[in-house]
Amino acid sequence: MSENKKIEFSIEALATAKKIMARYPEGKQKSALIPILHLAQTEFNGWLSAEVMDYVASLLSIKPIEVYEVVTFYSMFNSKPVGKCLIEVCQTSSCWLRGSDEIVAHIKNKLNINVGETSADGMFTLKTVECLGSCGTAPMLQCGADFHENLTVEKVDELLEKLRNKNERSSYLKSMITDR
Amino acid sequence: MGKKLLLEHINEPGIQSFEVYRKKGGYASVEKALKSMKPDEVTEEVKRSGLRGRGGAGFPTGMKWTFLDRRSEKPRYLVCNADESEPGTFKDRYLMEHLPHLLVEGMITSSYALGAKTSYIYIRGEYMYIVRILEKAIEEAYANGFLGKNILGTDYSLDLYVHPGAGAYICGEETALLESLEGKRGNPRLKPPFPAIAGLYACPTVVNNVETIAAVVPIINIGGDEYAKIGVGKSTGTKLISASGHINKPGVYEIELGIPVEEFIFSDEYCGGIWKDRRLKAVVAGGSSVPILPADLIFTTAKGEPRLMTYESLADGGFATGTMLGSGGFIVMDETASIVENLYTFSRFYHHESCGQCSPCREGTGWLEKILHRLREGHGKKEDVDLLVSVAKNIEGKTICPLGEAAAWPVASAVKHFRKEFEEAAARLQLSAVQKAELATH
Ligand SMILES: Cc1cc2nc3c(=O)[nH]c(=O)nc-3n(C[C@H](O)[C@H](O)[C@H](O)COP(=O)(O)O)c2cc1C
Ligand code: SF4
Ligand code: FES
């Protein structure tokens, strides 16, 4: 990637951003910040660099600090690069009761990384997260927008294999906004 | 089988689509309300129904609606709370995934009652695949004249939007949610003013849970009085319970408020009993924030009566021997589960989710996590058990929002009911410290 390539949304993403902004009253465009940051994270390799945050600030005509303080508050925003597939394993009570520890240990072992690290090939980043609302189908993990539930180590093996072969960035946001 | 008011058609193939939903009687509440009722009459029905907020606090919905400042010149907003992040709770997700039009219908009927012209569904960011489901349902509602300008030819118009969050439990607290919806960090606001007076963009706002808004649909369809006939006392209607943990049939169940807790756990219609033929040890009945109860207290109240699935019965005995219905996140633990470990997952959760505005919460939750961590890792001290209780006490009642209490109550109750287990954990660790010292000298 060229160093001085200007950060900006693709034409489609820009159109989506405009539609998101139109959902809030006149003068309240800042409300669009979180949805647009999701869009930006999808556009720019799964994380938000300072340049990307500045770009989003300019889109919404707000100060860069207003973007930084939001990015650092919410756990879904990554302010550092992540692997193509961000694996987020729930470890809260219901998942823990049904064996999430074993799932985390297995993934660590299999990918030879610790929680918070990215595999050497840049393919996987492993994160542990708090309850994702799948407690009835525990243990579970999220990758991109997809929930993988009722996990066993065998299921995890299959999933990792599938993701590796697909070899594409797990996309969080495919079509958040529909036309009407 | 208990009466189903929300999930009646959930197994109908294609019920996610407008066409099938409509064929099954969907959007009747919108037709009835908009064509034959004044907005205040809709509110009146909700009042008569006795419906209480399904987000956790159980505040009477009709009363909340009457607090909305109707004299203000400013626009009014209805915001649906779909942040659902309370550990053990997954009913809103289930409802939105399978019956998206039920929520959309409830939003239209409720917005009409409140005089809102724009409404938002604030959904936790992790539920992105549900954002798509809702967007599609909303699109269909627009296409069929149930949203947009002059709904069903009346002079009522409404725009409805879905707004994703980005991973923060605190944004389920209604004022934090509004901050977040305004594009800011999710820091709860000092109250008053309450959202009913100054909420979204400082305009009069009602925030209601997904299930609360969905329940407005059957209430308008059958009438508030009919709805109030279901249930016991001030716990009227049906409630979605998210059941998880060591049971045979985890899942979301719609119950008539008032069934015995014992039936809920052991009947095949619901949880189907404890898995692996093990014995029941403890239950967290209403999401991570409510006191944990051991098996002997969960089935009977202080008066020795069977405990029922109602707001009052679960709370019977106060915090000495009772708990709360909360969000209906029902977590079951079998005899093998470690209470210390389980509490550790909760305390880590609250520490992670504290917004950091108040020092008792920011620092206290950190201490709770730290002490529990060392207890489970084997570096604890005998004094740690009382220290836990003391830290919890010092958070409770000293914070801007109730997350402080939510973090403190599980700790106080776990130590009260399972003190021995905590002391054993501390002793085990002391022993191992002695052993370590011995090893070092050899
Ligand atoms: C820390 C905290 C988290 C909360 N999370 C949620 C939530 O995820 N969903 C919800 O509906 N209510 C949640 N609430 C309750 C809301 O503040 C509010 O009472 C509720 O949305 C009102 O809706 P209801 O009256 O329909 O229940 C939470 C409250 C607190 C203090
Ligand atoms: S109690 Fe905790 S979460 Fe609530 S406002 Fe204070 S610091 Fe934030
Ligand atoms: S505890 Fe893991 S999804 Fe709820």
Residues 11 to 30 of A: which have CB under 8 A from any B CB? 23, 25, 28, 30
- Return the half-sphere exposure (C-beta side, CA atoms, 13 A cut-off) of residue B126: 29
Rounded to the nearest angstrom, the distance between the alpha carbon of B54 and the centre of ligand 1 is 8
Q: What is chain A's alpha carbon radius of gyration, rounded to the nearest angstrom? A: 18
Q: pTM (2 decimals)?
A: 0.96
- State chain B's mean pLDDT as an integer: 96
Query: How much is the pLDDT for A175?
Result: 56
Cβ <8 Å between A180 and B142: yes
Q: Does A133 touch chain B (CB under 8 A)?
A: yes
Please list the ranges in chain A whose pLDDT falls under 70. Answer: 1-4, 171-180
Helix (H) or strand (E) holding B119: strand B118-123
Mean pLDDT across the stretch B279-301?
Answer: 97
Longest dimension (CA), chain A: 52
Mean pLDDT of B7-15: 97
CA atoms within 13 A on the CB side of B316: 17
Q: What was the pLDDT predicted at B437?
A: 67
Q: What is the mean pLDDT of residues B281-308?
A: 96
Report the distance separating Cα B191 and Cα B24, nearest Å. 42
Query: Is B297 close to ligand 2, i.e. is its CB under 6 Å away?
Result: no
What's the CA gap between B157 and B75, in Å, rounded? 13
For B147, name the nearest residue in chain A, comparing CA atoms only.
A180
Of B428, B6, B430, the C-alpha closest to B213 is B6
Q: Which chain B residues are Cβ-neighbours of A23 within 8 angstroms?
A: 161, 163
Q: Please calculate the CA angle A127-A132-A136 and round it to the nearest 5 degrees.
A: 125
- Residues of chain A with Cβ-Cβ distance to B278 below 8 Å are none
Q: For residues A178 and B149, which has the higher predicted lDDT (pLDDT)?
A: B149
Q: Is the peptide bond before B260 cis (omega within 30 degrees of 0)?
A: no
Q: Sign (positive/negative) of CA torsion A104, A109, A111, A116?
A: positive
Measured distance CA(B349)–CA(A9) in Å, rounded: 35
Pocket (CB within 6 angstroms of ligand 3)? A 90, 92-95, 131-135, 138, 140; B 87
Pocket of ligand 1 (CB under 6 A): B 53-57, 59, 61, 81, 83-86, 170, 172-174, 207-209, 212, 401-403, 406
Give me Rg for the CA atoms of chain B.
23
Q: Which residue of A has its CA nearest to B135?
A: A178
CB pair distance less than 8 Å for B168 and A75: yes
C-beta separation of B342 from A100 below 8 A? no
Q: What is the mean pLDDT of residues B148-160?
A: 98
pLDDT for position B440: 64
Label the pairing between strands A141-143 and B205-209.
unpaired
Residues A132, B186: C-beta atoms closer than 8 Å: no
pLDDT of residue B9: 97
**Which DSSP string corresponds to B158-179?**
BEEEEEE--S-GGGGSHHHHHH
Query: Can you tell me the mean pLDDT for B422-431?
Result: 84
For residue B428, the model assigns a pLDDT of 84
What are chain A's domains? Answer: 11-73 (1.10.10), 85-166 (3.40.30.10)
Ligand 2 in reach of B340 Cβ (< 6 A): no
Can you give the pLDDT at residue A1? 45
Quote the tokens at residue B296. 């002997």
The mean per-residue pLDDT over the stretch B340-359 comes to: 97
In B225-277, DSSP assigns E strands to 231-232, 235-236, 238-245, 251-256
pLDDT digits (tens, 9 = 90+) for B32-68: 999 999 999 999 999 999 999 999 999 999 999 999 9
Alpha-carbon span A23 to A6, nearest angstrom: 28
pLDDT digits (tens, 9 = 90+) for B64-108: 999 999 999 999 999 999 999 999 999 999 999 999 999 999 999
Whose CA is closest to A20, among A7, A10, A31? Answer: A31
What span, in angstroms and rounded, lies between the C-alpha atoms of B261 and B319? 18
